Amino acid sequence: MTTMPDPDRRLYRPQAEVVFNQSLPGGHGWMRLAVGELAAKAQPGHFVHLQCAPSLTLPRPFSLLDADPDNGTVDLFYRIVGQGTAFMAAWRAGERTTLLMPAGRCFTTPPPGADILLIAGGAGMAPLHFLARRLGMPFTFLWGIETELPMALPFACQLASRAAFPDRFQGFVTELAARHLTRNTYLYACGPHPMLQAVSRLGHPGQLSLEERMACGFGGCAACVAPIRDPATTSGWQYRKICTDGPVFAIDEVAWEHYAHPH
Ligand SMILES: Cc1cc2nc3c(=O)[nH]c(=O)nc-3n(C[C@H](O)[C@H](O)[C@H](O)COP(=O)(O)OP(=O)(O)OC[C@H]3O[C@@H](n4cnc5c(N)ncnc54)[C@H](O)[C@@H]3O)c2cc1C
Ligand code: FES
């Protein structure tokens, strides 16, 4: 993996064309977009800020599920939750849109000799899938998913659900994660905030990819801030922008106790 430090912080606004857009179980979708040579700049943890419809002023952020520099494509895995994702779900091959990419700071490499544990919640699977594909070293991948399995992953993956499903651990994915911890565990996680808080309580180092509602996607509006620890400030923390300072942060950087809204 070649992600330390972020290789190139420049943002581009290419036209992209839908290669395919597949409907998946559980209200999910898998979309491949042709973005040309920009696919080579995509790293695990980067997101795209995607224009979902001319009628929607604000683009929507989506982590990259994968990127293929040889074919000039990037993949997204999305859950249909509102207007923007409903528009996306209706796109067919050949549809054109614009996006900002590669946005945000990507994951960095784990310490040597670490036992790598990836913990995904719902659509938070996307950036960890890309990371797993690029890691080039052994890892354990856990995915907490409450619906029918949206897609089979191209590597071994253990599933967790709170409801009873055959072949799944029943409970929170973080409870399953607790069974895999070793002295050398290094964590990567992405999912809903309560899951990420539980990941933080596992007491191991690692990195989280945070999600917040976004507006501009390039650091111009402060719509996307999260409380991040900063020993250089008198309070010990300050708001940082997810879109440019994140979405990836070290686990112990996130000041959950200072979030303005309850999680
Ligand atoms: C860096 C980043 C990466 C993301 N990656 C993915 C991804 O790979 N796949 C995916 O399915 N989703 C991802 N999201 C969340 C995705 O951006 C939202 O689901 C999407 O913007 C919703 O748009 P909408 O117009 O369909 O819904 P809206 O009508 O805007 O909202 C519908 C519902 O979704 C909630 N919502 C909206 N935005 C977010 C958000 N950012 N985080 C959590 N809840 C939200 C709203 O509160 C509301 O309940 C990511 C978000 C960020 C910030
Ligand atoms: S979305 Fe505007 S600063 Fe992050």
From the CA of 84, the nearest ligand is 1
- Give the ligand 1 atom nearest the CA of 28: 11
For residue 87, what is the enclosing H or E element?
helix 83-89
Note the pLDDT of residue 9: 79
Note the pLDDT of residue 1: 55
Note the pLDDT of residue 3: 47
Distance CA 192, CA 47 (A): 17
Note the pLDDT of residue 20: 98
Distance CA 29, CA 80 (A): 8
CB atoms under 10 Å from CB of 100, counted, come to 21
Output the six-digit token pair for 88. 């996306």
* Residue minimizing CA distance to atom 11 of ligand 1: 78
The pLDDT averaged over each successive group of 10 residues in the chain (263 residues) is: 59 96 97 97 97 96 98 98 97 97 96 97 98 97 96 97 95 98 98 97 98 94 96 95 97 92 55
Cβ(243) – ligand 2 distance below 6 Å = yes
**Of 43, 30, 39, 31, the residue nearest 73 (C-alpha):** 39
**Of 123, 120, 144, 121, the residue nearest 132 (C-alpha):** 120
Cβ(214) – ligand 2 distance below 6 Å = yes
- Give the ligand 1 atom nearest the CA of 87: 26
From the CA of 213, the nearest ligand is 1
Give the distance (Å) from ligand 1 centre to CA of residue 82.
Answer: 8
Output the six-digit token pair for 253. 């950087």
- Give the ligand 1 atom nearest the CA of 125: 8
Domains and CATH numbers, the chain: 15-103 (2.40.30.10), 115-211+247-258 (3.40.50.80)
Note the pLDDT of residue 151: 96
Note the pLDDT of residue 2: 44
Output the six-digit token pair for 45. 């943890």
